[in-house]
Amino acid sequence: MCSIFGMFDLQSGDDLAQLRRQALELSQRQRHRGPDWSGVFVDAGAILVHERLAIVDPASGAQPLRSRDGALALAVNGEIYNHRELRAGSDYDFTTGSDCEVISAMYRDGDTDFVNKLNGIFAFALWDGEAQRYLIARDPIGVCPLYWGHDTHGRLCVASEMKSLVGLCADVAAFPPGHIYDSASGELRQYYVKPWRDYAHTQGSSVEPAVLKLAFEQAVHRQLMTDVPYGVLLSGGLDSSLVAACAARFARERIEDEDRSEAWWPRLHSFAIGLEGSPDLAAAQVAADALGTVHHGFVYTFWEGLDALPEVIRHIETYDVTTIRAATPMYLLARRIKAMGVKMVLSGEGSDELFGGYLYFHKAPSAEAFHEETVRKIDALHSYDCLRANKAMMAWGVEARVPFLDLEFIDVAMRIDAQHKMVDKSGPSNRKMEKGVLREAFDGALPEKILWRQKEQFSDGVGYGWIDGLKVQAEQAVTDREFAAAAARYPFNTPATKEAYFYRRIFEQHFPGEACAATVPGGKSIACSSPAALAWDPAFAHAADPSGRAVRGVHDDALA
């Protein structure tokens, strides 16, 4: 994964040399995402800058990618997992082995719906100099970040991270996932629209456990595409442990060689972090021992986490409480992973959204309500878990891939009637816990204590002292007088707790202005739940703390 910066709608009187220098300086703000190489493209109508983290084809995949005739220039942040199949069906004259070059090929081949055929995570800007046309697009779930806005001269600017647009674009905003902008029409179009969004389309549908298992194994296999050392994040929870179990199966063969030769790094390394004595560190070691990974469990102290907070908020570009709590240990873990020479990791984000894994789903009143909330959670991922995993890891130049959000696997998981995903304490054994359908599919793949481990939010699992300590520090850092005036200082998304105020104040130092604040969703945030979900239990509406432990009647008795 990398970073991109683009400037479009340049005018004939523009000083291209000066704009090139400006674009380079702005792109440098996100160079942590791509420390391996920098590339610049300048034309009369567009400037593209790319900061590269070389994962696939390190030798020849430098960007911006140019077509053989020089007319096309492409800057991409991401990975296209089905690039080999797409290459095979194209007559395009490829110039590199980069997985991303298929984007130029499909555009040149005239495929008007080509973005829908990409299975991957991506944010890209494509310039066609001959047609004086540009396209900007973001992957369907928003795993890769992307922001856009206009400078004072009306030029459209795009960047992987908001920090590159601060001070340049007063109207900076997140580019919406699953959309493409075409300058030829001036239209921002949603290209990713799935029938499973409607509960009625899924009603009565089920998937055999073996089919669900195979679909996920194939997703992990696709995402092991790499030419550099990699590993897995292993918290010891269900999701990360399943990712690790599947990755361990395929680690010995080289995926890019279609499993015909031995992998360059055949031993799978796994990584965990937590406070001394944390639940995650203990569970991760159990899972690692069972799977045979080379495991690295790192301990951090509360004060190391607190010291990192300002940099964490600067990197992840949010003031959301849950996201910051979880991003901080992940940021510290990324630094340790980088120091070991690993450039890519697989992570377990997305499972809770697909299968209703958050503890408040225990209170869902109906299958339809359950399904609607999973769809809403998927739509919000780009603002929360995807943002956290991507930016916390990329702060140190480590790419995080998310197999549960593989587009083919999402289709399989979301076609299942939510009736089969719901918790039923009086029903069969596999229904008495969240994500029972997923646990059943992988029966025997993990130790029972891991396969049936109760859901812990990452910020809880690293050690309860982390969240509790943050609350104490915020209480000391924010005076009663300051907090009483919170609505006057922050009328938009007014902080509901002193901890939220503490984070908002740090965010504002790096990202001033209403536009930046508006990139962070507002509202109640019990596990980022919707107003409809808050109505499932009256206790939810009065809970300001988004920790999983705060979901009354669920965390403590989920196994009862």
**pLDDT at res. 558:** 47
Residues facing 270 on adjacent strands: 232, 295
Q: Residue 73, SS3?
A: strand
**Closest among 286, 271, 269, 234 to 450, alpha carbons compared:** 286
Concatenated DSSP letters of 278-305: -HHHHHHHHHHHHHT-EEEEEE--HHHH
**pLDDT at res. 112:** 86
Q: In what order do the strands lie in the sheet with 65-66?
A: 65-66, 72-80, 120-128, 133-138, 179-182, 187-190
**pLDDT at res. 549:** 52
Cα gap 182→294, rounded to integer Å? 46
Strands 147-150, 156-159: pairing is antiparallel
Kindly state the average pLDDT of the residues 285-307.
97
Kindly state the average pLDDT of the residues 437-466.
87
List, in order of start, the domains of the chain with CATH numbers.
Answer: 3-193 (3.60.20.10), 206-469+523-550 (3.40.50.620)
Cα gap 157→164, rounded to integer Å? 10
**pLDDT at res. 547:** 56
Cα Rg for the chain, rounded, in angstroms?
A: 23
From residue 294, how far is each of 270, 281, 297, 361, 456 by CA, in Å?
6, 14, 10, 35, 24
Q: How high does pLDDT run on average in the chain?
A: 92
**pLDDT at res. 559:** 43
Question: Residue 455 pLDDT more than 80?
Answer: no
Instruction: List, by residue number, the catalytic residues.
Output: 2
Q: Is the pTM of this model over 0.85?
A: yes
% of the chain beyond a pLDDT of 90: 82
Cα gap 181→299, rounded to integer Å? 44
**pLDDT at res. 529:** 65
* Dihedral pair phi/psi, residue 186, rounded to 5°: 70, 20
**Closest among 311, 312, 325, 321 to 500, alpha carbons compared:** 321
Contacts of 308 (CB under 8 A, 6+ apart): 328, 331, 332
Cα gap 472→475, rounded to integer Å? 5
Question: Residue 91 pLDDT more than 90?
Answer: yes
Least confident of 356-365, 392-401, 520-529: 520-529
% of the chain beyond a pLDDT of 70: 92
Question: Residue 528 pLDDT more than 60?
Answer: no
Kindly state the average pLDDT of the residues 508-531.
82
Q: Residue 435, SS3?
A: coil
Question: Residue 430 pLDDT more than 70?
Answer: no
Tens digits of residue pLDDT in 32-47:
999 999 999 999 999 9
**pLDDT at res. 256:** 66
Tens digits of residue pLDDT in 145-197:
999 999 999 999 999 999 999 999 999 999 999 999 999 999 999 999 999 99
